[in-house]
Structure 1
């Protein structure tokens, strides 16, 4: 099994490259010239997109083929004060450059809209916000020229006093989304409310892939199911996904012929608890346990897997994990990928 690792948004090894620079609503309101204020927003967004491209070039140098884009690329995108603003059109060239670069080097890009984007909500205004936010994320992917292979990962949401009814409401409201949005969505188990098994059951019901978060499963698993036990069903939710060119390194990608494509691999999330007292927060780095036993267990039936590392030290956490895995006797398949015997 080939396993590729990625990280989220920021790189600690690249100076002054934030893709999430912003402007507050209060500051925007203070600017008397609205046209100039909008131009300033577009300059900030342009810098965020430029920094995203810088980060992709950094990733290329380290064979990092999996990367989560910042959801804050465009400050105040969708705010009620800017309903008439069409930033994607103004920033089209920058979006295209990111998409072209990622395709040129076989990189897998994704988004993770924030926790305010919930489809289980009973409140009409929250649902409308969530639908619009997902639409904005998908529109950014499309501006990059990216298709169904690029996902927007979300949680089921709150239980609102009745988990069963909230889950049923999620299924209804997910089904009401346009297909153009639904086909980009993956569902992830959370650390407090919806367990891996519950998330899996909903993912199966709505026909969308599930992203297993190992850390969340550890802290929110009242049923006691092992991740290995759930894995065959989770992997099955990824069936029917588009074919992509897949490689564990840039040199391996360069050696692919144009016809060599495989189904989009399943993705999981990996983090370690900050401390025993603060088990829900992410640590600076990630440990080999419980990842390695899980990988060894699923390797015989899983040819390829992508893992998103959620750690404070971002790319450094990824590179340290690579070193730690190699000390455990695992063979590197690139600077950011390993091969697990099946």
Structure 2
């Protein structure tokens, strides 16, 4: 099984490279000239995109070709103060440069929009706001020249009226999502409400790839054993142009702590690899650890010591 590793948004090793610099609505409002305020937003966004490219080049030096981009690349998107702003046109040169770098090196990039993106809410207003956020991510990917299919990870959402109602509301709302947007979506299990089996219910019904989050599963397990669910997870990726992927983090303080540790517990991950290796050809692993790329590189040092792991690069192994 070929396994590639990636990490999230920011680097601990590369200094002064934040892709999430921002400007608040209050700061924007204090500027008398709206056009000047928009130009300032664009300057910040261009700096974020420049840092994003620096991060990708840094990753390439470590053979890391899997990366989650920050969703905060462009400040105040979809805010009433910036209504009508064609940010994607203003940022096109920077977006194209990132896309060219990613495509030339066959990197895998994606997004994980924040928890305000809720597709199973019965409020039309919340649903429409969620679609606008997904449209923003779609525009960024299109500007980069990257196929948007299966590039946005989402949680299923809330369950104010119970899990079953939450699942069925997701199904009902899904039919109202434009196809170009709905094809972006991947679903993961969460650590409180929806298990892997719940995500599989939607994934199988709506043809959405399902991502296993190991940490979430350990805290909020399905009734069925993960080994018995893995074939179903794989099947949800059969229509995807991308490799099946999982999320990995470790609890910070005790087995049931939902907070992420600075680093990754290699033993837990190796147990999972052992369980699925005979049934899986390729796997991409997104590391969700506080120490970002440092956590990835430390994990690789641990894996080097395991006889079942053959090092293919600084950020990939064959597990046998």
Q: What's the TM-score bracket when you normalise by the shorter of the two chains?
A: over 0.9
Match of 1:301? 279
User: Is 1:337 matched up with 2:310?
Assistant: no
1:224-267 CA-partner distances (Å, limit 9, x unpaired): x332221110010000222xxxxxxxxxxxxxxxxxxxxx2101
Match 2:251 to one of 253, 261, 273: 273
1:274-319 CA-partner distances (Å, limit 9, x unpaired): 1018710100001112211211221112111001000000000000
Aligned-partner Cα distance in 2 for 1:110–1:296: 27
Match of 2:203? 203
Match of 1:233? 232
Aligned-partner Cα distance in 1 for 2:61–2:310: 20
SS at match of 1:311: coil
Aligned-partner Cα distance in 2 for 1:112–1:295: 24
Runs of 4+ in structure 1 deviating by more than 3 angstroms, as ranges, are: none
Match of 2:173? 173
TM-score by structure 2 length? 0.97
**Runs of 5+ consecutive residues of structure 2 not aligned to the other structure:** none
Aligned-partner Cα distance in 2 for 1:102–1:92: 15
TM-score by structure 1 length? 0.91
Q: Identify which range, 70-79 or 276-285, moves more after superposition.
A: 276-285
1:67-90 CA-partner distances (Å, limit 9, x unpaired): 000000000011111111111100
Aligned-partner Cα distance in 2 for 1:311–1:104: 28
1:2-38 CA-partner distances (Å, limit 9, x unpaired): 0000000001110000000000111111111111111
Match of 1:30? 30
User: Is 1:147 matched up with 2:134?
Assistant: no
Give, in angstroms, the shift of residue 201 of structure 1. 1.1
Match of 2:121? 121
Give, in angstroms, the shift of residue 175 of structure 1. 2.4
Match of 1:249? none
Q: Identify which range, 211-220 or 171-180, moves more after superposition.
A: 171-180
SS at match of 2:266: coil
**Runs of 5+ consecutive residues of structure 1 not aligned to the other structure:** 243-263
* Distance 1:70-1:6 versus aligned 2 partners, 3 A rule: same
* Distance 1:222-1:212 versus aligned 2 partners, 3 A rule: closer
Root mean square deviation, CA, Å:
1.2
* Distance 1:226-1:289 versus aligned 2 partners, 3 A rule: farther
SS at match of 2:168: helix
Match of 1:45? 45
Aligned-partner Cα distance in 2 for 1:63–1:325: 16
How many aligned residue pairs are there? 319
Aligned-partner Cα distance in 1 for 2:222–2:90: 49
